[in-house]
Chain A
Amino acid sequence: MAAAQPSGGAGAAQASASSARNFLAYRWQLISLPIAGLVLVPLLVIFSGWLNPETETWRHLAETVLGELIVNTLVLLLGVGAGVLMLGVGLAWLTSMCRFPGRRFFDWALMLPLALPAYVLAFVFIGLFDFSGPVQGTLREWFGPRGYWFPEVRSTGGVILVMVLVLYPYVYMLARTAFLTQGRGTLDAARMLGLGPWGAFFRVALPMARPAIAAGTALALMETLADFGTVAVFNYDTFTTAIYKAWFGLFNLQAAAQLASLLLLFVAMTLLLERRARGRSRYAEGSRGGQPHRIHLTGWHAGLATGAATLVFSAAFLLPMLQLLAWAWDIVRAELDARYLDLLLNTLMLGISAAFVTVTGALLLAFARRYQRDALTGAAVNIATLGYALPGSVLAVGIMLTLTGVDNFLQSVARGFGFDASGPVLTGTIAALLLAYLVRFLAVAFGPIDSTLGRIRDSLPEAARILGATPREVLTRVFLPLLSPGILTAILLVTVDVMKEMPATLLLRPFGWDTLAVRIYELTSEGEWERAALPAITLVMAGLLPVLLLVIRSARSANVAGRAERT
């Protein structure tokens, strides 16, 4: 009996190690390493800032603001982290596991804030609620200048609130997918074992959804770290502020790169710790899937659920949209012209092609990590998902420096062969932009895809193989259908994120080629927020398209399941 091994640990490793060699017999390094390389090179360019340590700038920052900035950043991370977890998981639980008035609507409507750029919400929020805004103005009219109390809007609490409202959809969407695909078998089993609905939630559903929730939270926190626009509107100084201060204020791009690389190291370490903590545990799909039995909320429970969803939806989407509409109303006739169609088409084209490229890259990485369990692939995947944590402008410059480096090389080669090599080859092409988006948003696509892939048991592709399916058929007939919720979420997130993206788009777009985000930048950077309302609304509308796609699709699959259940 000495040979007896626990079947979980060694056995599982054995099973996956062998499928590594047999299912999809490819050399995954050939795929994962180049993708990681695409991300790594710009990051290395940024790290190369350390070749010239900027002691003076460092000393100045350390002596004056750095300590406060780090504290501010950590407070912001904690606040946003706690907030997106509560809102994201709580709302996902309500809409996917419970039944209450308005559930069907909120199920998809709660994703909408994603389409709204964070700094727009920040601006609207401050515009409405700050001292000079209409709300406090009305209060002053009623109660006199000192006759009322109102929380400080431009404060730590305010910035956390706004970021939570904008970023919770990452957690919401991933957790929602996880809850819906978790199946009722496991939950029923938990209920049978005497757990109440809350017990089942905390002891079973939550732990099972942990990879998805962790991925969503990681995305939200990385975006928080990288954010500059929102904190700038609040004038809330974070570590990113120091990066921009070094670059734009002190004219020291080197020091900015050094600060950015520290930020990157911090994120890399945190992600590593999280992944290690999660360890090797696999969260295979419960063998009995299906739509969960929704908990029927009644009475004040139902009221509370509807109220909470309404509050979040109003604050995060309805209110800012109404404000934007009010602003746009005054200018729509003067400003809306044929150019907007171009802007819209450019924006959609970029968003969709970038989603295709990025999601493909993320799929390849996720497969590589599943079927090539070596340290090299693991490292490649970890590196490839770091791009999201860098402030956009810094990453954009890293990519720009890489591209111009290649361009300069190509041009000197061309000249060596006697060609007239005028103008850049890569910089300023759509391909370069797509590359930049791939680098920046791989993490966004990787999260939902990897957490869905992790729930597919090895035996499914194996069963398909033994039933005569070629590796390619296993992909098309088993993996892609099973991955489709994750893939759709990834497409939605990337499309919307790309459409909102500014720094890389600004720096790398072709001449005379604008998008809605560029238009918003041009107007807001001149302080013309009211005029920016028009492109902002158009952007939200464009962002609604992929959301609707997802809604229609999940409605259809719910119908299929529902019909099947009745037979």
Chain B
Amino acid sequence: MTNLLTIDNIRAGYNGHSVIDNFSLEIQEGELTCLLGPSGCGKTTVLRAIAGFEPLLGGEIRLNGKTISSSRHTLPPDRRGLGMVFQDYALFPHLTVADNISFGLHRRSRREQQRIADDMLELAGLEGLGDRYPHELSGGQQQRVAVARALAPEPQLLLLDEPFSNLDVELRERLALDVRDILKERGIAAVFVTHDQHEAFVMGERVAVMQQGNVQQIDSPFNLYHEPTSRFVADFIGQGRFIDGTMVGAGTVDTVFGELTGNLTYNYPVGCEVDVLLRPDDVMISDGGEYNVVVSDRAFKGAETMYTVRLATGEEILSLMPSHIDLQVGEETGLTLSADHLILFPKEGTRT
């Protein structure tokens, strides 16, 4: 695999204020990369820098080895050959669906435009809607048109800016899967931006978690969840609670549950106070559990129920259990831990 896009140490911002600083990222051909982070973290700025809307204050961006953005030069967006899906879809209200889709094809022959537009309509499941105007479509249909329009000129790289955030939850997931399938089938690489980790996990083969203009961790969704390398990522991705612990060996920590050992090793000195991350799926509730706890809260989620349980120390942790296990708030029960990945961070004064 070759590098399709190289983002090399870029800095960008406005009014002398850097929104992103020393940001680097490499994207392979056909790869789906997601920029995930809270709003204001600079993820959209990165996307706009790739598109050519955001000039660089430092560093450079290379596409197929050719520099397209640097602090001295910004190749105009129309000459980058990229596709982009906007958060608000940005469909042209004065054009029909078919004309929207063929907007980027106007240098080709009428017939070819027609053919590609038809293909795209079929691909997007919008057959027969080509003569409609955007405002006559549902939100989901509009979103499909936006994707179809961006794909019509056959870009090597598709940029998606919070593409599903205007849709309801169910539609969001289905469309995300559809778009992923289309991209994979055509071998088109994509960078997409979201603040929603579920969306990121559905679409992204690689997810870059961003905070304050920097990449915190780039990894597969599985690793981000189970092996976060920073407290921020641990907090931001998934749910979980920290409990107190003290290092007793390279991979072993002493906690209220006794000594725990995971498959990772840490270089913290023995006796060092640490926070131990417990994910809800690491914690099993059962009457015969080793530790006694009290249910302090529950959230029914259909197939599963998320329990908050209080330990003897007063600390609270989460447990995700099949919902046929039905416990009421205040009920006493037992608990078992099954954590393969033991995630530790040096003690911090406060915890979230």
A and B interact physically: yes
Please list the residues of chain A having a beta carbon within 8 angstroms of any beta carbon in chain B: 1-5, 7, 10-11, 13-14, 17-19, 21-23, 25, 183-185, 285, 287-290, 457, 459-460, 462-471, 473, 477-478, 481-482, 561, 564-565, 567
Contact: A468 with B53, CB < 8 Å? no
The 4 A-B pairs with the shortest beta carbon distances in the complex, nearest first, are A467-B104, A459-B90, A5-B40, A463-B90
* Known contacts A290-B136, A460-B90, A567-B131; A3/B77 CB under 8 A: no
Across chains A and B, the number of contacting residue pairs, with CB separation under 8 Å, is: 133
B8 an interface residue at 8 Å Cβ cutoff? no
A289: B residues at CB distance < 8 A: 93, 133-135
Partner of B78, one of A4, A287, A465: A465
A459: B residues at CB distance < 8 A: 86-88, 90
**Quick one: which of B39, B45, B55 has the most chain A CB within 10 A?**
B39
B121 an interface residue at 8 Å Cβ cutoff? no
Contact: A22 with B53, CB < 8 Å? yes
Once bound together, how far apart are the Cα atoms of A10 and B132, in whole Å? Answer: 35
Partner of B15, one of A17, A25, A285: A17
Once bound together, how far apart are the Cα atoms of A353 and B79, in whole Å? Answer: 37
Interchain nearest-CB distance for A55 vs B (Å): 48
Contact: B104 with A468, CB < 8 Å? yes
Partner of B136, one of A466, A478, A481, A564: A564
Sample of 17 A–B contacts (CB below 8 Å): A3-B41, A11-B40, A18-B14, A18-B55, A22-B54, A22-B76, A288-B135, A462-B53, A462-B86, A463-B149, A465-B77, A465-B78, A466-B84, A466-B159, A482-B94, A564-B133, A567-B131
Contact: A468 with B212, CB < 8 Å? no
B38: A residues at CB distance < 8 A: 1, 3-4
Once bound together, how far apart are the Cα atoms of A137 and B42, in whole Å? Answer: 78
Contact: A3 with B211, CB < 8 Å? yes
CB contacts under 8 Å to A, within B163-221, are: 211-213
Contact: A467 with B153, CB < 8 Å? yes
CB contacts under 8 Å to A, within B294-348, are: none
Partner of A287, one of B51, B89, B131: B89
Interface string of B57-90 (1 = CB under 8 A from A): 0000000000000000010111111111011111
* Known contacts A3-B211, A18-B14, A466-B84; A457/B78 CB under 8 A: no
Interchain nearest-CB distance for B50 vs A (Å): 10
CB contacts under 8 Å to A, within B124-150, are: 131-136, 142, 149-150
Interchain nearest-CB distance for B154 vs A (Å): 12
B52 an interface residue at 8 Å Cβ cutoff? yes
Closest residue to B212 on the A side, CB-wise? A3
Partner of B53, one of A1, A3, A19, A477: A19
Once bound together, how far apart are the Cα atoms of A23 and B82, in whole Å? Answer: 16
Closest residue to A291 on the B side, CB-wise? B135
Interface residue total, chain B, C-beta cutoff 8 A: 53
Partner of B40, one of A3, A285, A468, A482: A3
Contact: B39 with A285, CB < 8 Å? no
Contact: A561 with B133, CB < 8 Å? yes
Contact: A7 with B40, CB < 8 Å? yes
Contact: A290 with B135, CB < 8 Å? yes
**Quick one: which of B55, B93, B133 has the most chain A CB within 10 A?**
B93
Closest residue to A22 on the B side, CB-wise? B53
Contact: A464 with B103, CB < 8 Å? yes
B92 an interface residue at 8 Å Cβ cutoff? yes
Contact: A185 with B135, CB < 8 Å? yes
**Quick one: which of B54, B74, B142 has the most chain A CB within 10 A?**
B54
B226 an interface residue at 8 Å Cβ cutoff? no
Interface string of B20-61 (1 = CB under 8 A from A): 000000000000000000111110110010011111000000
Closest residue to A561 on the B side, CB-wise? B133
B19 an interface residue at 8 Å Cβ cutoff? yes
B76: A residues at CB distance < 8 A: 22, 25, 465, 470-471
A464: B residues at CB distance < 8 A: 92, 103
**Quick one: which of A18, A185, A477, A482 has the most chain B CB within 10 A?**
A18
Give 8 new A-B contacts, CB below 8 A, not counting A3-B42, A288-B134, A462-B51: A3-B38, A4-B39, A11-B39, A18-B48, A18-B55, A459-B87, A467-B149, A567-B131
Closest residue to A183 on the B side, CB-wise? B135
Contact: A466 with B82, CB < 8 Å? yes
* Known contacts A290-B133, A460-B92, A465-B76; A21/B55 CB under 8 A: yes
Once bound together, how far apart are the Cα atoms of A482 and B51, in whole Å? Answer: 24
Contact: B19 with A14, CB < 8 Å? yes
Interchain nearest-CB distance for A523 vs B (Å): 46
* Known contacts A3-B211, A4-B38, A17-B15; A22/B74 CB under 8 A: yes
Contact: A564 with B131, CB < 8 Å? yes
Contact: A22 with B77, CB < 8 Å? yes
Contact: A18 with B89, CB < 8 Å? no
A564: B residues at CB distance < 8 A: 96, 131-133, 136
Partner of A18, one of B42, B53, B79: B53
Contact: B55 with A22, CB < 8 Å? yes
Partner of B90, one of A2, A462, A471: A462
B107: A residues at CB distance < 8 A: 468
B142: A residues at CB distance < 8 A: 287
Contact: A4 with B90, CB < 8 Å? no
B135: A residues at CB distance < 8 A: 183-185, 287-290
**Quick one: which of B53, B88, B134 has the most chain A CB within 10 A?**
B53
Interchain nearest-CB distance for B274 vs A (Å): 23
A565: B residues at CB distance < 8 A: 136
A482: B residues at CB distance < 8 A: 92-94
Interchain nearest-CB distance for A187 vs B (Å): 12
Contact: B78 with A481, CB < 8 Å? no
Partner of B88, one of A10, A13, A287: A287
Closest residue to A10 on the B side, CB-wise? B40
Once bound together, how far apart are the Cα atoms of A468 and B105, in whole Å? Answer: 8
Interface string of B242-277 (1 = CB under 8 A from A): 000000000000000000000000000000000000
Once bound together, how far apart are the Cα atoms of A469 and B79, in whole Å? Answer: 9
Contact: B103 with A4, CB < 8 Å? no
Once bound together, how far apart are the Cα atoms of A468 and B76, in whole Å? Answer: 9
